[in-house]
Amino acid sequence: MFGWCVFVSFSEEKVTVLSLQEMKRVGRKIVMLTAYDYPTALILDEVGVDIVLVGDTLGMVVLGYETTLPVTMEDLLRHCQAVRRGVKRALLVADMPFMSFNVSEEKAIENAGRLVKEGGAEAVKVEAGQVTERAIKAISGAGIPVMGHVGLTPQRIHALGGFKVQGRNVEAAREVIEEAKRQEEAGAFAVVVESVPWQVGKVITEELEVPTMGIGAGVYCDGQVLVLHDMLGLFERFLPRFVKRYANLKEEIKKAVLKYKEEVVEGRFPDKEHSYEMPEEEVKKFLG
């Protein structure tokens, strides 16, 4: 009964970095998805997704790049603005593109500030790397909430040698766990944990006070995140083991487009129902 009440009140209230900490405290799982445009942002918010991330996966699933590396601040800003118009309840988080936070602390604060000021984001996300903790400290010190990201971090794809599961042996697992702890210490309000064995996701979740958002990190994380186009069946270049397809929208869209094509070619579209009609008295004058 108590758990149900918590769920109802969390479902109605605006999500903030504080309510996310409370969700972890009471064991209410946090639901997070990516979005890149206004119509899908509206749907996610209507359904009650807690965190909407304008991820730099934008580059792969929407812009058609091979990796996330070419995504620019301008790309992220434009899509964040569109998503902002559709999101009311969820916490809106914007990913910081490759090299937008790594060059200097000043640049990191400046770019995070743009995502909030111009993009309408309420928080930003940074991926793990040599300078990430400094960036988290600087950005959160400037009053902008920062989400961390450990494990498989696609902005390091060349250093990691591909999209590979991380933390598979004890030493590598310890490194991922330590990295998550450092991000929390630096001020992260939550940490995404990507592509690690579930045992590693569980230890990180137990050791951090802030919520963990798992993507391929097992069921013990405080919440789960997926890339929208992966779970809807709209991106098929590759399908990691952790992606569950909840729909096959590519097939649905293909069926609709094919039907439209046939009806246009056969002259069956538009029919009377989808055409405008001139009033009868006008028709007489018009046609003589």
Binding of ligand KIV at residue 150 (CB under 6 A)? Answer: no
Distance CA 235, CA 256 (A): 18
One DSSP character per residue, 193-240 reads EES--HHHHHHHHHH-SS-EEEESS-TTSSEEEE-HHHHTT---S---
Binding of ligand KIV at residue 215 (CB under 6 A)? Answer: yes
Give least dist CB 229 to ligand KIV, A: 9
Distance CA 151, CA 173 (A): 9
Give least dist CB 235 to ligand KIV, A: 11
The sign of the dihedral angle between the CA atoms of 15, 20, 26, 32 is positive
Nearer to ligand KIV, 70 or 269 (CB): 70
Among 23, 30, 44, 57, binds ligand KIV (CB under 6 A): 57
Instruction: Give me 70's structure tokens.
Output: 């070419």
Beta strands 190-194 and 123-125 are: unpaired
Stretch 92-111 residues interacting with ligand KIV (CB under 6 A):
95
Binding of ligand KIV at residue 230 (CB under 6 A)? Answer: no
Active-site residue 194, yes or no?
yes
- Please name the amino acid found at residue 24: K
Binding of ligand KIV at residue 71 (CB under 6 A)? Answer: no
Q: What is the CA radius of gyration of the chain?
A: 22
Binding of ligand KIV at residue 225 (CB under 6 A)? Answer: yes
Stretch 16-45 residues interacting with ligand KIV (CB under 6 A):
34
Binding of ligand KIV at residue 146 (CB under 6 A)? Answer: no
Q: Catalytic pick from 122, 127, 179, 194?
A: 194
Residue (of 58, 63, 59, 50) closest to 20 by Cα position: 50
Nearer to ligand KIV, 69 or 249 (CB): 69
Interface positions with ligand KIV (CB under 6 A): 34, 53, 55-57, 95, 192, 215, 225, 227
Q: Which residues have a catalytic role annotated?
A: 194
